[in-house]
Structures are given as C-alpha cells and as structure tokens.
Amino acid sequence: MTGTASLDLDSIYRAHGGWLLAWLTGHARCRTRASDLAQETFCRLAEQPALQLEAHPRRYLATVARRLLIDDVRRRSSERCFLEAFALHMGTATPPAPDRIAEAVQELAALAELLDELPPRVRRAFLMSRVDGVAYAEIAADLGVSTSMVKQYVARALTHCYIVAHGCPD
Amino acid sequence: MVALTDPSLNDPTPNDQAAPTRAMIEQAAAWRVQLADADCTDTDRAGFESWMCLDPAHRIAFDRMGRIEGQAMRQDRIGRTALTAMLSRRSRTLPLALIVGGTVLLSRLATHNPYVRSRLADERSGIGQIRPATLATGDHILLDSDSAADVDGSGRTVRLWRGGVMATVRPGQPHAFIIRTAQGSARALGTRFSVRISGDTTIVEVIESHVEACTTQSHAACLTLAPGQSACLDARGAHRLPDVDPFTAGAWSEGLLVADDRPLSGIIDELNRIIAPPPSIMRRRILRACTSPAPFP
C-alpha cells in the first residue's frame, strides 16, 4: 500500500472509527462483536486499491460493515441450528470439534442457499425424496398430489439448485 | 461448440459456449428424477444413455447436478434437522436481513459466490490430497491440496475457485488453454504452469514455455511470462513477482515441499494448507517454552 493510502486510512479511522463502532454496537447489540466487525471493516478497506470514500466516508463504511454483519448473523444462526439439531439427536454427547462443526455448517449453509428460494411444496418434495429417501408415491400421498406432480417438483428443485450454483447461459 | 480463439481474454464473463443451456439443465433434472424412480424401465435407461452421448454439455449438467444431489443425500438426521431449521429461520430472518442489507440482493450473490461454487466444482481435492485430472483434449491438470475447479465442455478453459492447479498442456492445438480466477486469467499454447488463488490475489508461475497473464479488470493489464517467471494478479493489476526456481515451483506436484532459505512463516502457511491437523493435536496443551538455540542477530 502506498504512503498516501495508509495515511488516508489512518485519518479515516481517527475521524470515523468511533462512529463506526457505535453504529455497529447499535446493530450487533454486543460490543465485542461490534469491535471485531469494525476491525474487519477497516481490514477490508485496507485491501482496497484506492480509497474512493472521500465524498461519503460513513456511507461507504456502513455498506462494508453491513455486509459483514449480515454474514456474521447468518453464520451464527447456522451454527446455532446445527448445535440444536445435534443436541436434539445426540442428547448430551460431546459435540464434534470446532473444525468439524464449521465444516458441517458450511456445507449445510451452501445447501440452504440453494434451496432458499424454492416454493415450500417443491422444497418439501425435494427434501423428502433426496434427503429422507422417501419414494415418490409416498411423497405424493403426503402432499396430496399425483406422483407425476411430485416428480415435476423434484426436477424443478434440481433445476433451480443447478442454476443458482452454476448459472445458465440463456 | 468451442469458440476460444480469442474472444477478449479480459472479458470477466467467459464466452462459455459449452455451458449447458436451460433446456439441457431441465432434461438432466428430468433424467435424475426418472432414474431414481422405482418404476424406471430398461427403455428409460437406454434413452438416458443416448441422451448422455448426444452432447458433452449433457454430461456436464448431469454430473454437476449429481454433486448437488449428493450433498443433500449424504445428510444424516442431524444435518436434516439443522437444514430444516436453517431454511425456516432464513425465511423468517430474510426481511430483517433485507432491512439491514438495504438493496443488497442476497440471492444473486450465490451464483458468483466462490464459496458456493467451489463446493460444487467439477474437480475438487481435499486437504492433503493432490488430484490429477485428464481433460477431454488429453491435457493434464493437477489439483493441489484443498482446491476446486470447473472445466468447460471444450476442455480448454478451467475456472479455478479455490487453491491451486498445475496444467501440462500439449503444444500445437488450435485453441489457447486458459485458467481463469476471480482476478484474471493465464493463457498458454503448449506449456507447463501453475495458478494459485491466495486470498484476493492470483499467482501465476511458469515452468515451461510462455504464458500470458491478464487481469479481469476493464483496464486489463497483461504480462507475458517466460519459464521461471511469476506474476501476481489482483485488483490493482498484473505485477511481476521475483523469479521462481522452476523445480521449486513445480515441487508440490511431486508431493514435495521444498524449503531453501525460506522464512519459517511461509513454510508453516504451506503446511497448514496441505495438512489437516488431527483435532487431538489442536487440543494438546503446551507445557514448555523453548528458546531459539542461536542468539538473534
């Protein structure tokens, strides 16, 4: 980084660091988390080739911080879901090591990302078929539709997941 | 089907004509559903086989979808419960996230989210695993530890999502061989070179012949690299790095970690990348402090 850029970052930190921390504390409702996220925000900023925030420094800082906050909220929420599911099925057994939890949570979060926008019945048909291994006819009885409709639902879910993950040229 | 003669190399969206079309994706889904049906007949299976042979893009769509399906199918009951909870919590927290996120369109991010893409890539290697792959054209790529890449139907473009890849490309082919990352691309006609993603930068190292390394930026910058030369592509452009020893640069592909006057920090980083430490070691308590036997200068 050039001397001018770090000088800029330094002055931005001095001028707006306190404001950003207060903004984040208000949104994250936890001072430790807020100061972690504030630090992360400035780290991201330091990676920028040219700081283009002279006009609206606070607006820019808030945009970066907001994105980090959303990621953080999602990650914590996913982790909570996993630990609750573990406790539900395994009782008081020792939970897996943190790296295993992180791995499982990442995989589940990627799946949730793919399935997120599907209509509830399509998603339900997909989960019953592919995760629970239930036959199409049984899913049809459960949802009160025909077997061929269930097959259409599952195909629709697969198509949707593919396009979210890999895109589609047309 | 292949059109990589040279559309602008700097185009951040590859001219990926071999990518499966929407119709092909829908057909792949229909086949996956039909083949999993208990009522699937021999006629169905024969129909599927001939569909697969009709176009290489059919197989790409079918295989990619299989990996997504596989991710769902390997969930145990803990994963299933967690997934259901995550999905219902997502739909509850989405309005909140949108208020917080303003105009950020979360779902649109997924398609280009390297994290999602790297978990579903065509070729993936685990930590500590070096994985060879032979492309349709007969060229070879070698995925370094903890890497992920997609290969297009023509076998001439590799999209690296995570980690590193070494390519050994046969000379004298009509179309350039290209490895792309978020930061740029490396293009070669018959050569051996490696591309690695490291944080927000891409590092290109040439072992044999020449490679053209370009950034994806609109004001694209390109460097032509000779054997032993290395470059870094990032948001600021393409920069030359100090020359590398071609033997050391390719050492990982032979399963070697070469250290010749390197700082310990770099070696530790590299070890971390190739070895997943068993949790028992990570939890071990250290009781003794050691001092360096040699006095610091």
> How does pLDDT run across B219-263, given as a tens digit for each residue?
678 888 888 888 999 888 888 888 887 666 777 776 666 666 667
Whether residue A108 lies inside any domain: the answer is: no
Total domains in chain A come to 2
B1 shares contact with chain A (CB less than 8 Å): no
B279 reaches A (C-beta below 8 A): yes
The pLDDT of residue B286 is: 52
In whole angstroms, give the CA distance from residue B55 to residue B52.
7
Provide the number of CB pairs (under 8 Å) joining chain A to chain B: 187
Find, in chain B, the residue whose alpha carbon is nearest to that of A110: B116
B chain contacts of residue A84, beta-carbon cutoff 8 Å? 81-82, 85
Among A56, A78, A100, where does a domain finish? A78
Chain A interface includes B235 (CB < 8 A): yes
Domain-ending residue, one of A78, A109, A133: A78
Tell me which residue in A97, A135, A158 faces B29 most closely, judged by beta carbons: A158
**Within an 8 Å CB–CB cutoff, is residue A165 touching chain B?**
yes
Identify whether the C-beta of residue B225 lies closer than 8 Å to the C-beta of residue B211.
yes
pLDDT tens for B102-154 read 333 433 444 455 666 676 677 888 777 778 887 777 788 888 888 888 887 77
The answer to whether residue A89 is domain-embedded is no
Cβ contact A149:B20 at 8 Å: no
Identify whether residues A72 and A121 lie together within a single domain.
Answer: no
Phi, psi dihedrals of residue B164, rounded to the nearest 5°: -140, 160
Give yes or no: residues A71 and A9 share one domain.
Answer: yes
Q: pTM of the predicted model, to two decimals?
A: 0.52
Pick the range with the lowest mean pLDDT from A70-74, A132-136, B197-201. Answer: A70-74
B127 touches chain A (CB under 8 A): no
Q: Is the pLDDT of residue B9 over 90?
A: no
Please check the confidence at residue A80 and state whether its pLDDT lies above 60.
yes
Reported as a single tens digit per residue, the pLDDT across B190-227 is 678 899 988 888 999 888 888 889 888 766 788 888 88
Q: Is residue A20 part of a domain?
A: yes
Beta-ladder partners of B149: B123, B160
Range of the domain at A38: 3-78
A106 in any annotated domain: no
Q: Is A7 on the interface with B (CB under 8 A)?
A: no
Per domain, the residue ranges of chain B are 123-251
Task: Tell me the shortest Cα–Cα distance from B247 to chain A, in angstroms.
Answer: 31
**Domain termination residue (choose one: A47, A78, A109):** A78
The CATH number linked to A124 is 1.10.10.10
Percent of chain A topping pLDDT 70: 91
In a domain, A127, yes or no: yes
Same domain, A10 and A72: yes
**Does the pLDDT at position B92 exceed 50?**
no
Nearest residue of B to residue A47 by CA position?
A: B200
B123-251: CATH, from 3.40.50.720, 3.20.20.140, 3.40.50.1370, 2.60.120.1440: 2.60.120.1440
On whether residue A10 sits in a domain, the answer given is: yes
Q: Is B163 left (phi over 0), alpha (psi -120 to 50) or beta?
A: left
